[in-house]
Each structure stands twice: as C-alpha cells, then as structure tokens.
Amino acid sequence: MSTPRISERGGERLARWAYTVVAITLLPILVLHLMWRGIRQPDYLAHWSERFLGRALADARPMFGARAFHGADAKVLWVHAVSVGETRAAAPLVLAWCNQSPHHRVVLTHTTPTGRTTGQTAFASLIHSANPQVVQRYLPYDFPWANALFLSWANPVMGVLMETELWPNLLAQARTSGVRMMLVNARLSPRSARRLMRFRALSRPAVQGLAGIAAQTDADARAFQAVVAHGDASSPAVCVVGNMKFDVTPPPELCALGRTWRDAFGGRRIWLAASTRDDE
C-alpha cells in the first residue's frame, strides 16, 4: 500500500532536483538581470552576497553581535516581505512580536530595494535603537546552499512568508532545519493557481511543508487546498483571516490631515494616485 506514496515522493525529489539544475544553469542570466536592473536602480547592485550566499560575508552582524542577536534569551522570528505592500502588511505582526519582550528579534527579508527601504522607514525605531530588535536582509535566491546558510545564520523559531512565496528549495531546507513555516495574508490568483497545479510535483510538497496558511479569502483557501490531495494528513491547516493590509492603523495626524482635505474639497469628485513609485 505504501508503494504509490514512495513513488510519489521519489518523483517530487526528482522534480526539485531538476528545478535546482535549471536554476543553476540560469544563474548567469540572473546576474545579468540584476546588473541591468542596477543601471536604472543602483540599489540592486548592493548586498549581492545576501542574495547568492544567504548572508552578507562582510557585514553579517555589524548591528547585532552574536550574543545580542543569538543569545540564550533571544527569540528570532523571520518574516519575508517581498516588496512595499507586503512589508506594510507585515507591520502589525513585526510590532506585535517585538512588543512581547525586549529579547524578541525579527529578521526581515525582502526581494526588492523598495521593500527594504520601506522596512527601514517603518521600523526605524526598532532598527536603530540602543537595543535593536529588527535586522534586514535580502532573501537569498532559491539555491540549496544559500537557503542553508541563511537559516543557519538567522536561526529563527518560526518563519513567516507573506502572500504567495512558495519556493521549493527554501521550504524543503526549512523542514530539514526544523523551522516551522507559515504562509500569512496568503492569496492565489486563478492564473497562479493554474501554474501551481501544472507544476504540482514542485508545488505540492512546498505547500505541505507549511505548518499553516492564513488566507485572505475563501477562494484563496480553496485554491491552496486544491494543490494538495484532499484529506491528506500532511496538509497544512488553512484558515481565512482577511487581508492584513487593512489591519494597519494610520497615525492620528494623518487621519486629521485627511479630514482637513475632505472638508477643503467638499463634495467634488477626486482622482487619487494612491500608490506610486519613482519611474512609474
């Protein structure tokens, strides 16, 4: 009775091996892509050791000494927020974790420079305080050696991925390292769901490697459940919690400014560019 399951797991390992080989083959193209992006946005040229090696070799712990960051009392939560929107959505989670205890730490990783800049602004008091509780890094690309080095350095008690970050090698390494992983504020568009189903040999073990999924909507929850076999005992628990981006409480001064603008414009229609970036 166990033969089909053994064969299935063997197929999944083979799929991840092929995925890794393809990723390594495309490594020169990835380097060229970063250099091309760096022409328009120089920040892409910084911190390459974090992206490819899993940590910065020269500045791995300038802000946190080994004892301060990985001491006996420290409890590290790793939160991955790709860019600006995910970083802002993660703010309540980061703040709640840090407010529990001065010994609680957060390793906040990003993929884009704009996400990293947003984190620097949002958590400035926690990054630059006398007892820093937040450190930022780029999440390494999905190579086994980079994932292993990063998790070894961060040593988190738990990892939180925001929205749709399902990287096969990363989740496999987290399981090997004993790091429980959660997918929070999870969403899955119909197009992304079709892609996961098409590459189910990779996506299924990735989803099964999660300890739980906090989905934005019922449709998102059903889409994630469809990736794994119905009733599979190893499937993660899935719950619907809504969109965390609406859990952020704006500062009182911004609310007052909004009311002032509303009174000034009266009942006139307003066209608003609510989220813009340089070069857009």
Positions marked active-site: 86
Whether 184 contacts 161, CB under 8 Å: yes
Q: How far is CA 229 from CA 18, 82, 254, in A?
A: 23, 28, 47
Q: How far is CA 83 from CA 59, 135, 150, 213, 237, in A?
A: 22, 16, 19, 20, 26
Q: Is 145 helix (H, G, I), strand (E, B) or coil?
A: helix
Whether 204 contacts 235, CB under 8 Å: no
Those residues with Cβ within 8 angstroms of residue 84's Cβ, 6 or more apart along the chain or in another chain: 112, 114, 115, 118, 275, 277
| Pair of tokens at residue 134 | 């937040």
233 secondary structure, DSSP code: T
